[in-house]
Structure 1
């Protein structure tokens, strides 16, 4: 399909309270309709917590089952990251769940050392590229945004997604980097951030947005506001821009050490 409708769920997460967050998010999602993809924040069941031992779920746990139910009911894919324990390790794991129940996963590559994330979580080392409804979609997580080599569009994704808990005090960096990644990768880019204060009194302004392949902002929720915004993307328009400018053809070759 040429067009893809995505819904940005910019939510004020309840600190370390899975039940409250799923109830809140269910209410926000219930008001969405005719969408192809629902995007939730980083660690949407808990907020960005460094207490995985108390908040984790096993693979195939309650939150993933909830995502599968939502995807089926809405006939839409849904993605966001969750604290997961696997083989005695904890991961900040993004799930991308299709309406069929099929699950794709991406473990956050760049752990946020300023908050000590690397002390309690294990890093992933594999990209994820999902083919969904004719679109090639690459999901990434928060701090990954600062690392252009890891985000480089070597597989010519049509859409990159960044889910985040990005603090308001560094919101200018968030906005600048989202736009930069869209421009350099010649693809649509959706950045979905939370709003509100977390349990450490860190404020989040949201500043979620969708950019096109030329870096133009084409839709966004209001800063500091909990709301859902739906934006429709046009794949043919994006591909025509790529063909006209050919910037991706001039990329440098490189190998990432994993």
Structure 2
């Protein structure tokens, strides 16, 4: 029995062709790009869609262009006013240049995460505790700009940074509570003092107006008596105007002076 070597050779060629096509064809999604190397040298960035490469001669690295959520582990930060706090954050980077992301850095996600931890401690260490608690939007922008300046050479764009939580010690929480209470007391005293000042100014204006007409003072006293008697009081203390008492006092003085003479 003789073998048909021509049929075997044709089958082998067909099998090799199928294997070659399977290794040569790459399909990239809309959010993916392929960085192609020819004999170890960068050739071009291809995709999305169908991409043909030469197996054994060309290699391709798949890169995802979607925004990635990186959670920055809790960091011990010492603020500018020497307060120790624990801060956690979230970073949102994405690849904008697939060539740089593959060639310029080994693992761009890990590198961005480590850089975010360093920048978080560095930037927050320049601000006081009150800024961390009250001005998070400005701090988020400062960290984002600092990160973006460093990752630009890697082809990475940091679109946003969000500080998740700032944890304080129990003693610091009590100190902040005492500070807030003292601030409220200070505001209450200031408001009370301003009220006294405004009342004194109004009383001064009223006294000037009443001084123009003596009868107005009498009417004011009568009105005061009406208000006091409205509560069914059995004892009424009525202020006696000095203008009424002064003539009697002067008369008594003149009478005592004549008697003495």
More strand by share: 1
TM-score (norm. length: structure 1): 0.18
More helix by share: 2
Structure (1 or 2) with the larger CA radius of gyration: 2
TM-score (norm. length: structure 2): 0.18
Using CA pairs under 8 Å that are at least 6 residues apart, name the structure with larger relative contact order, 1 or 2: 1
